[in-house]
Chain A
């Protein structure tokens, strides 16, 4: 048994499975003094194709048949390309085009592959060969010469002596990539502040609530009890630029509950209209649309990470990774009976961010 040692340096050479590298410490390995000896290679067993000429001929036939079959597959794929064109507005033709070109190519590829492997396994010379291993590290001479080269280079350049040159070079090399970092500022528009942008949406006082995606304004009388509507601000569809960016912040869910089911916060009195409430649709976890409404329990469910929000309790989180309730959009009804926003959201919508407070 070997002695244990912190460095392992005075250990005997490793057991029979260890490398016989001179001097490489073997650590805490246990050297088996009476280790079983390696019995050497087992006798070679001939394959059936080595002993039966008929089997050898059959294997040869199989291999070239497969290669010919591959040619058939390639030709079939080309023929299928022409014979099964895509006919505009006919999805069925896409399917047959995909299927038959694909099957032809599959046959062409697999027949080559199986044929080549079968050739290698059944017909090629099958006696195993042996390569010798050598330690990965360079020989002692090579290593000594490498050290010497570095020493000579150090001497000849004087990099060790001329410390001012060395240090100023290191400084220059550290400084030169820095402008590249600055250049990346240009990835975003120059004059905006992201935190400020995140704090506002398209909603403002008097914006009508409109249906997503048609943009038709919604009357309070259209909202039946128990229903849920996907809502965007009126005018969003007419935006020239930034339609998706605005929608990603302004999407709202509109639901009508029995007024007695609503447990409203005192500071939000008057934010709902006759049991109709509007909440941001953007999850406060990582921003998925909270699209699933459970009518019976008044719960909203985010399909991405299963955060659940209780609409009757000002959308507070009842399960899942989200922390904050969905922000509420204060609503009212205008003179024509359309639902309108009283103001923008009073807090940033969507996922949390560092500057949010």
Chain B
């Protein structure tokens, strides 16, 4: 919303010369950067706290790159055995890998080294968490709908890559905990039919643990994975620019406009400032709270392990899935071992990931809606989608909590078996309960919205009528608030009709069934007729 006078002023200052103008002119004549400024400088971004989640993810990635680059200057990705001779007295003289020894040096002999290690680790934990919450925001508001389905896929791949980055980084110090993590990976890989033994053998460069794995994970961690992540983030953001940001329903906002603040100056200040706030918070955590104290664990040794071991939080769901398997699911058949105690978790998690990945396409197929959607749904206005999301979150949460089954058991003084059996129940049945509750809550909230639109909100003012009757006065809401409650898309179940050949295909039957499941319970938005009628009742 620039005024034309300021623009002309700017141009005139440029003409009048000065260092900035000369520099701008120099660069523009070689890069055409004025085009980019013209296109992007006043680009509008809508404002909402939930849009910050993706920013947190982006910023923590930048923090990870900065702190990680510092760490690479000191870290030695070799598993050659050395005798530790650093400042940490309890481990002096202990044989360990060069990787572990250099990690200890970063922590105890380099000023600010521990700080950077902790910044790196805290930022990594925040990175995955922020991506996860950002994805939930996208899901529950329907921001994955056309034209953003592909960006959902890119974002989801980024989520997987972030976990891979986390796991490879976690394994690098070659301490007892990370070594046990790798041992579990080795065991899982070996459980894969046909190729598992060989994959493990090649991955570890021979028998577990070998002397190769840290160097290999290091290549992945600092070169291959970051390169892919940077490329995908660039695509992800490019699509945000191409599509323009979604916005929540609000008065004056339509599917054809974007309402908000321009990049220059307001977004530059707010988003740029937010980067420093995120960085500052991570820095504060790193200065006050210890994370991953590898010196307490000691170097990796295949024999010892401490009770209550936990992976970093984002690997918890996979670890929990392993714990939930009941005994006895492994068979020898045709002279080969089939480890269903490993295959079931792998396949179940693979399917879960696949469903999340392709959900936008499933929903698009069910609704048949090929229009672009730029106004976000309030979660209550898509009850079945919200309920599916609640079921998915419950499934994930149950697996995740199971990764702490031993800690739950010791902390609350309950039996290990009891915890596992409870979690088995919650993993399988919990999602259905969550689906049912979430759907009913959505429908109830939609009904409440209708009620408020038609009859106003409870004002809290109690009036005694002449006849002695007490009533609470309901105040009508203004038209701007009302718009948020009535402007949503409502779908109804697909009606099966024969196609041009007079046939009803199986695909159509399936789609009709899904459509019925999605939309049979629905609350229509209030229309003007109903609104006027209700006003007539009251006045």
Which A residues are closer than 8 A to B by beta carbons?
A: 4-8, 14-21, 24-30, 32-42, 81, 85-86, 88-91, 94, 97-103, 105-121, 124-133, 135-136, 184-185, 187-189, 192, 194-195, 197-198, 212-213, 230, 232, 242-245, 247-249, 251, 281-283, 285-289, 291-292, 301, 303-308, 317-324, 350-357
Contacts and interface: CB of A to CB of B under 8 A. Distances in A.
Given A189-B205, A357-B332, A131 B258 contact: yes
B275 A113 contact: yes
A354 B274 contact: no
Interface in B71-102: 81, 87-89
B499 A6 contact: yes
Interface stretch (B162-170, B222-230, B246-254, B354-362): B246-254
A185 B201 CA distance: 10
Contact of B255 (A19, A105, A129, A286): A19
Interface in B190-237: 190-198, 200-210, 212, 216
Contact of A245 (B188, B208, B301, B337): B208
A138 to B, nearest CB: 11
Interface residues of B, number: 151
A227 to B, nearest CB: 17
B337 A354 contact: yes
Interface in B328-373: 328-330, 332, 335-337, 339, 341-342, 367-373
B205 A188 contact: yes
Contact of B528 (A36, A105, A320): A36
Contacts of A248: 183, 207-209, 302
B489 A133 contact: no
B138 to A, nearest CB: 17
A294 to B, nearest CB: 11
A249 B193 CA distance: 21
Nearest to A8: B368
Given A25-B368, A187-B203, A304 B269 contact: no
A243 B232 CA distance: 42
A185 B202 contact: yes
Candidate in A17, A114, A189 with the most chain B CB atoms within 10 angstroms: A17
Residue with the greatest number of chain A CB neighbours at <10 A, chosen from B281, B284, B305: B305
B456 interface: no
Given A130-B258, A324-B330, 8 more contacts: A21-B371, A26-B370, A42-B252, A113-B279, A125-B1, A129-B44, A194-B197, A195-B197
B487 to A, nearest CB: 5
Given A38-B252, A131-B257, A124 B265 contact: yes
Contact of B111 (A81, A112, A244): A81
Contact of B305 (A125, A288, A321): A288
Given A27-B491, A194-B201, A36 B417 contact: no
B304 interface: yes
Given A42-B251, A319-B417, A323-B328, A133 B341 contact: no
A188 to B, nearest CB: 4
Nearest to A192: B206
A34 B283 contact: no
Contacts of A132: 256-257
Contact of A286 (B184, B326, B329, B491): B184
Contact of A306 (B212, B339, B416): B416
Nearest to A316: B327
23 contacts: A34-B527, A39-B480, A81-B112, A86-B109, A94-B87, A98-B118, A100-B287, A117-B270, A118-B273, A120-B273, A128-B44, A129-B261, A133-B258, A188-B202, A194-B201, A212-B303, A243-B81, A248-B207, A287-B187, A305-B319, A319-B420, A353-B337, A354-B337
